[in-house]
Amino acid sequence: MKRCLPLVAAVLLSACSLMPHYERPAAPVAPTYPVNDATADGSGAPAVASDLPAADTAWRDFFPEPPLQNLIETALANNRDLRLAALRIDEARATYRIARADLLPHLDATLSGTRARTPAFATGTGAAVVGERFDAGLALPAFELDYLRRVRSLSAAALASYLATDEARQAAQIGLVAEVANAWFTERAYAAQLALAQRTYEARRRTFDLTRQRLDAGASSLLDVRSNETLMETARASALALARQRAQAANALTLLAGAPAPQQAGDAAGDTLPDDARLDAMSALPAGLPSALLARRPDIRAAEQRLRAANANIGAARAAFFPRIALTAAFGSASPAFSQLFDSGGDTWSFTPQLVLPLFDAGRNRANLDLAEVRRNSAVADYERTIQVAFREVADALAARTYLGDQVTAQRAIQEAQAERLRLLTLRFESGVASSLDVLDAQRELFSAEQQLVEARRLRATNAVDLYRALGGGLK
């Protein structure tokens, strides 16, 4: 056995890896984000990307509203998709531990006893013999000398797969935070629109009652009554539709949170969508540079780890073409009686080196190598596509941010102009200059402008959330 040790040492020292050298593919995107001519904040200054990464902003700082924070915390604790992602990490970790264990020899303790009867014709003595044998020892099952790093390549692939799974869980967490925030802003927008529709309905109902009274007194026409009734019922239909949409948005929040969403305490203005100052702060999130996405976004890091795993599997597939060297050894003691098992003179040992050289496998090894290379190429394409998708998400969010601030400003100007128009027409109507139809038309357009303003503010809030998520924020 001692004569074999120099040979084994020489083989181990000459070990080499057949795994291809890993090189990160170049990012297939432009070096900077596209900059639009419009401004991000309506101040006349162009939107400039900053080196400050969004991922450094914790979600509790980005979403200071206590109800929203409670929802996000509930979702992180109870969301089933996130829980499945965590379980996949445990699965990948166990798979890696199994692969890593093959790098070290396994040692088994054995204890066996045998009792056998040999018939008379086989003993040569004319009498049957009953024999006993007991064995105890340590055994080394077939341990592969990983001189071509085949086992190490498999272990490296398992490690990369585990890391990719962990990155995928982080990406799922970021996505969940953004989904909860967007769903919450959507529910709050429906709440604001519902409150507006209910107030409008009550006001129009009072106007309708007054018009009927004037009709009874001969001071109004049936056309005025029906026109006011149409407006009143339109507001009522809008309120019912918004109540349904708000209930469905609350159900979506419940699904995301994994638990019943807490009821909102009232629908006052401060308890709906963020105000303009808050929206300005959210939309002012610095964009950073495209290269920062490679380190900040977990989905990109997960794609790169999958690429590393595919690269490592090529090394294992290449090593399958070469001989494998395995060692099997055992050392122990044997005795015809259990009480004498460890007495001197009963020592046993065995050492069995084995060399396996693949000669004919019907093209299996070649096909496995081709499969590993195709999967590596697919992983490269997946990595590049993930970067392109991430780049587009940031670019889209930046483009929307550029215009949504001005859109909210313009929509607020429309709403204020419609409110003033209604006030003036009401004065003209009371003076007998304008008709009631003009007033009704102004009421209808004001209601539409108010609803559109709420929707524009919701779009601005969700755009800020989308940009925060696209830049890798929401993990802390």
| Per-residue confidence (pLDDT) for residue 102, from 0 to 100 | 86
Q: What is the pLDDT of residue 343?
A: 74
Q: Give the rounded percent of residues in the chain with a pLDDT score beyond 90.
A: 37
The whole-number pLDDT of residue 48 equals 41
Q: Which residues pair with 132 in a beta bridge?
A: 115
Residue 411 has pLDDT above 90, yes or no: yes
User: 35 pLDDT band (50/70/90 cuts)?
Assistant: low
Res 162 pLDDT > 90: yes
Bigger pLDDT: 158 vs 270: 158
What's the average model confidence in pLDDT over 247-263?
84
Integer Cα distance of 276 and 430 in angstroms: 36
Task: Label residue 324 by pLDDT band (50, 70, 90).
Answer: confident
Q: What is the 3-state secondary structure (H, E, C) of the chain?
A: CCCHHHHHHHHHHCCCCCCCCCCCCCCCCCCCCCCCCCECCCCCCECCCCCCCHHHCCHHHHCCCHHHHHHHHHHHHHCHHHHHHHHHHHHHHHHHHHHHHCCCCCCEEEEEEEEEEECHHHHCCCCCEEEEEEEEEEEEEEEECCCCCHHHHHHHHHHHHHHHHHHHHHHHHHHHHHHHHHHHHHHHHHHHHHHHHHHHHHHHHHHHHHHHHHHHCCCCCHHHHHHHHHHHHHHHHHHHHHHHHHHHHHHHHHHHHCCCCCCCCCCCHHHCCCCHHHHHHHHCCCCCCHHHHHHHCHHHHHHHHHHHHHHHHHHHHHHCCCCEEEEEEEEEEEECCHHHCCCCCCEEEEEEEEEECCCCCCCHHHHHHHHHHHHHHHHHHHHHHHHHHHHHHHHHHHHHHHHHHHHHHHHHHHHHHHHHHHHHHHHHHHCCCCCHHHHHHHHHHHHHHHHHHHHHHHHHHHHHHHHHHHCCCCCC
pLDDT band at 441 (very low <50, low <70, confident <90, very high): confident
pLDDT of residue 11: 47
> What residue type is assigned to position 29 of the chain?
V
Least confident stretch, 244-258, 267-281, 387-401: 267-281
CA distance 190 to 358: 69
- Is the model's pLDDT at 338 over the cut of 70? yes
Averaged confidence pLDDT in the chain: 84
Cα separations in angstroms, 150 against 163, 306, 423: 20, 18, 82
5 pLDDT more than 80:
no
Contact 347, 321 (CB under 8 A): no
Of 182, 154, 247, nearest to 397 by C-alpha is: 182
Instruction: Provide the pLDDT confidence category of residue 53 given band limits of 50, 70 and 90.
Output: low
* d(C-alpha 412, C-alpha 456), whole Å: 9
**pLDDT tens-digit series, residues 239-249:** 999 999 999 99
Per-residue confidence at 269, pLDDT binned at 50, 70, 90?
very low
What local confidence, expressed as pLDDT, does residue 40 receive? 42
Confidence of residue 168 (pLDDT cuts 50, 70, 90): very high
pLDDT at 38 (0 to 100): 47
Alpha-carbon dihedral angle through residues 58, 59, 62, 63, given to the nearest 10 degrees: -150
Domains, the chain, ordered by start: 17-104+148-322+364-470 (1.20.1600.10), 106-118+128-145+324-357 (2.20.200.10)
**pLDDT of residue 6 exceeding 50:** no
In this predicted structure, the answer to whether residue 36 has a pLDDT above a threshold of 70 is no
- How far is the C-alpha of 66 from the C-alpha of 64, rounded, in Å? 6
Q: pTM of the predicted model, to two decimals?
A: 0.81
CA distance 449 to 456: 10
What integer is the mean pLDDT of 43-49?
40
Per-residue pLDDT averaged across 324-342, rounded?
83
pLDDT in tens, 23-33: 889 888 887 77
Residue 416: what pLDDT? 94
DSSP lists the bridge partners of residue 327 as 143, 353
